[in-house]
Structure 1
Amino acid sequence: MKANKIQKIEIRNIWGKYNFRWENLNPDVNILTGINGSGKTTFFNIIDALLSADIKRLKLYNIEAEVTIDDILISFRKDSTLASVRQKLAGVNYLKISTFDVPIRDRRKMGKEDSPLLSELKEIVYSVGENNNSFSDYRLRATNFPDQAEKINRRIRKFYDTVNHLFAGTGKTIEIDPMTNQLVFRDGDEIIHLYKLSSGEKQLLIILLRVFLMDEQPYILLMDEPEISLHIEWQYRLFEEIQKLNPHCQIITSTHSPSLFGDGWGDKLVFIEDLLIH
C-alpha cells in the first residue's frame, strides 16, 4: 500500500509576486492559517487544481507549481500538458471537501426545497450506479459480495457509532428506516429525515460520509475552512473523528478558527506567512 502522502508543496508567482514553499508536511494533519488577503485560499485552490489535473484553471493563475507525493514529483509549467500531469497523478487518491460552498452538479435532480448542501448529501447517500460512490452502493456490497459482508457491516456500525457519538448532545441517533430503507435520524419516537437537519449537521455528515467512503485507503484530503457552520465541540473533535474513520488519510486544511487546533493540534499549525520564499 502506497503512503499517498504529500511531502512538499511549492508554488511560484502567485499574483505575480509571491512564492511559497511548504516542506515536511505531517502524514496525518496539517493546518494552514493566516490573515485575510495573505493568499491562503489561492494557495489551496492551486493545490486543488494541480491534484485534479485542471490544466485550464492552473494556466489562469499564471503560476508554476510542484507537489511531491511520496517520491513522485508532480509539476506544472506553462507548457505542461494534461496527459503529462495525469500520468504523474496515476494512483494518487485525492479529495477536496468544500461543504460551505457545494457546487450543484445537476439542477435537474434537485427537488424544489433542496439546498446545495442537501443536494450533495442526498447524492452521497443515495446515488446508485456504475460511476457513483455512495453510502447506498457501499451497503449493497454486503449483498453482492458475501465474502466482504462482515467487514462492510463492521465498518457501517463504526460509522453509526461515530455519528451517534457526535450527535449525542442533540439526542439524535442515526439508523436505516426499515419501512423506506432510507438513512434517517431518530429523536425518541420522531423520525427526522435528512432535509430537516441543520446546515451544520448536513455539513458534518458530508465530511464523515466522504471519509467513510474512502474505505480506509490512503487519501489526501483537502478542506478549506471546514469549521463553517460546525458547532464548536465538533470543531474540536473533527480531525480525531476523521482519523478514526480513515487512519490512512492525510488532512490538509485551512482555518481561521482556534477551535480546530486548540485541542492538541497546535503542533500541526503553519502560518502561510512563514512559507514565503524570496
Structure 2
Amino acid sequence: MFELTSFKIKKLHGYKTYDLKFEDNILIIVGENGAGKTTVLRILHYFLSAQWSILAKFNFDSITAVINGKKYVVKNSDLVATFDFSDRNILMHFPSSARRRFLEMAENHNINEIPLSELEILCNRYDIPFHMIIRELNYFDESGIKKINKKVNQEYQEIRKLLSDIQILYLPTYRRIEQELNTIFRGIDDDDLRHKKRLIHSRDKCNSIELVEFGMKDVERSIESMLNGLKEFARESLNSLTLGYLGDVVEEKYSEVDFSQIKSASDETIKNILGRIEKKILSDNSKAHLFDIIGKVKTGGEINEHAKVICHYFIKLLNFQQELEAKELSITQFCEVCNSYMEDKTFEYTSSSFSFSIVSVNTEKDKHFITLDQLSSGEKQIVSLFSQLYLTEKNNYLVLIDEPELSLSVPWQRKFLMNVKNGGFCAGLIAVTHSPFIYDNELGEYAHGLGEFLEE
C-alpha cells in the first residue's frame, strides 16, 4: 500500500514554498506556461524515484513528504554533500558516460559492496582496464566522499526501499525531452543516442520508467512479447492435457463427468477452443462432429460412453480456455481502450491465432491492414502510453504526466486521464496542465491551481 498525502518544497529557487496536498494519490496541477508546474513535477518525480544525485542539482532548501502517514525530510545541503559529485575529480580522466555510471553504482552501494560483475560490465563496455577501476575505488573510499553523511545516506536508503513497492511512469513534455536527454540517458554516450532510438529508459535501480518518445518499436516488441507468452502458455497447457488424457481414460474418470460447464458454455467459446486445435491433430470434419456431440449434450440429448469421454476432455479444454482468457485480458483491454480513440481504424486481437492487427475501416469488402508507424502523432502518444500500462503485466503504476493535452484533440483530452485512472494498474495519478478539458470529468475534484499551494 502506497499513500502520498503531502509534498512540500521549501524555498524553491530560494524564495518559493509549495505545499502540495493529495487525495487518493491523485492531483491535477493547473497553471499557465512559465508558472513553474513542470519544475515542481520534475522534483516530485526525482524524489519518488529516489534519484538523489539529480535532485541535488535543484535549488531548494528542503523537501518534506508524508508517505503512509510518516514524514520524510530531505535537505538540499545533505543531498549536495552526499550525492553531488559534479565538482569532484574522481574518474575525470575516464569517459564522462563511464564516470556517470560509476557514480550511479557508488550511490546505490557502499564502496566495498559494489558487485564485481557490475564493475566488469563497466570495464568491458568502455574498454577500461580492471586495475584502473580498482585504483579509483580505493581513492574514492579513502577520500571519505561516501562517508560524509553516512546517517543521511541510510535515511535515504529507507525512503528508496519504501518507494520500491510502486512503479513510477513519468511522461515529460516534448520540449523537455531535448533539454533532459543528458539527465534521462545518463549512462549512454552521445554516439549511442544517435544509433539507438531508445523509446523507454528504465531505471531498475529506482523502479522508474521515463517515456520520452512516442515511437512504435517498443510497442511492437511489447505486443510481440505478449503474443509469444500467450502462445507458449497455450502450447504447454495443451501438451499437459494430452499427456494426462490416457491416464484419465484408463481410470475411467470420464464416467463421473459434470456436464454443467458444457451446458453453460457459449457456441462461440466452443468454436474458439476447437479453432485452437491444429488440423493435423483434428480435421475440420472431426471438429464439426465434436461440435455436434457437444451440442446434443447442451440440449439434453442422449449421452453415451463416447460422449462422456469427449465431454470429460472438453471440460479440461474449457478450464484451459478460462485461464487463457484471464491472461488475454491485458491485450484485449489494450485494444478496447485504443479503439475508443480511433475513428477510421480498429485494433484487433484474434484469440484463436494469437495475432494482432490494425484494420483500416472503409467501405471496401477486403480488409486493409496498416502498421503502427502509420498512426498519427496523437494516436502514437495514446498507444505508446497504454502499451506500457497494459502490456507489461505490472499493476502498481504511479503515473506522472507533464501536459497530457499535447497532440490530443479536445474529446480525447476529456477521457485520456480517466482511462489511466480507471485502469486496474493505476496506484496514483499526478499531472500538470494548462488545459481545462483534461479535468472536465470526474477528475475535476482533484484539480487545483499551482498558486493554491504557494505559501506566503
Match of 1:233 in 2: 411
8 Å contact kept, 1:172–1:187: yes
**Alpha-carbon displacement from aligned partner over 1:72-120 (angstroms, at most 9, x marks no partner):** 5454223245552533422232111236355786442449xxxx8453x
Aligned CA-pair RMSD = 3.0
1:138 and 1:246 map into 2 onto residues whose CA distance is 18
Q: Alignment partner of 2:23: what SS?
A: coil
SS at match of 1:258: coil
CA 1:45–1:208 in structure 2 vs 1: closer, same or farther (change >3 Å)?
same
What is the match of residue 138 of structure 1? 226
On the 8 A contact 2:345/2:358 being kept in 1, the answer is no
Output the CA distance in 1 between the equivalents of 2:425 and 2:163. Answer: 22
Distance 1:117 1:37, change over 3 A: closer
CA offset at residue 256 of structure 1?
0.7
Q: Which runs of 5+ in 2 are unaligned?
A: 83-106, 109-156, 186-192, 199-211, 238-319
Question: Which residue does 1:131 correspond to in 2?
Answer: none
Change (3 A) 1:72 1:138: farther
Does the alignment pair 1:172 with 2:267? no
1:51 pairs with one of 45, 48, 51: 48
Give the aligned partner of residue 67 of structure 1.
65
Within 2, Cα distance between the matches of 1:154 and 1:162? 12
Instruction: Note if 1:41 corresponds to 2:54.
Output: no
| Selected match of 2:335 from 143, 160, 165 | 160
CA distance, structure 2, for counterparts of residue 216 and residue 53 of structure 1: 20
**Alignment partners' CA distance in 1, 2:219 and 2:431:** 21
Shift of the 91–203 alpha-carbon distance from structure 1 to 2, 3 Å rule, reads: same
Which one has more relative contact order, counting CA pairs under 8 Å at least 6 apart? 1
Relative distance call for 1:13 and 1:99 in structure 2 (3 A) is closer
TM-score of the two chains, using structure 1 as the length reference: 0.81
1:92 aligns with 2:166: yes
Hey, what's the Cα distance between the residues in 1 that align with 2:3 and 2:370? 39
For 1:215 and 1:71, how far apart are their aligned partners in 2?
A: 29
Map Cα deviations across residues 175-216 of structure 1 (whole Å, 9 max, x no partner). 36999x665443343222111111111111122222214646
Q: 1:107 to 1:32 in 2, by over 3 A?
A: same
1:22 aligns with 2:12: no
Of 27-36 and 208-217, deviating more is: 208-217
User: Is residue 79 of structure 1 aligned with residue 252 of structure 2?
Assistant: no
Count residues with an aligned counterpart. Answer: 261
* Cα distance in 1 between the residues matched to 2:361 and 2:213: 22
Equivalent in the alignment of 2:217: 122
CA distance in 2, matches of 1:18, 1:249: 29
Specify whether residues 199 and 216 from structure 1 end up closer, same or farther in structure 2 by C-alpha distance, changes over 3 A only. same
Percent identity (aligned): 24
| Amino acid across the alignment from 1:192 | I
The runs of 5 or more residues in structure 1 that have no matched partner are 127-133
- Tell me the equivalent position of 1:130: none
Say whether the 8 Å CA contact 1:117–1:202 is kept in structure 2: no
1:108 to 192, 195, 201: 195
Counterpart of 1:197 in structure 2 is 375
Query: TM-score, with normalisation over the residues of structure 2?
Result: 0.51
Give the drift of 1:14: 0.9
User: 1:157 deviation in Å?
Assistant: 1.3
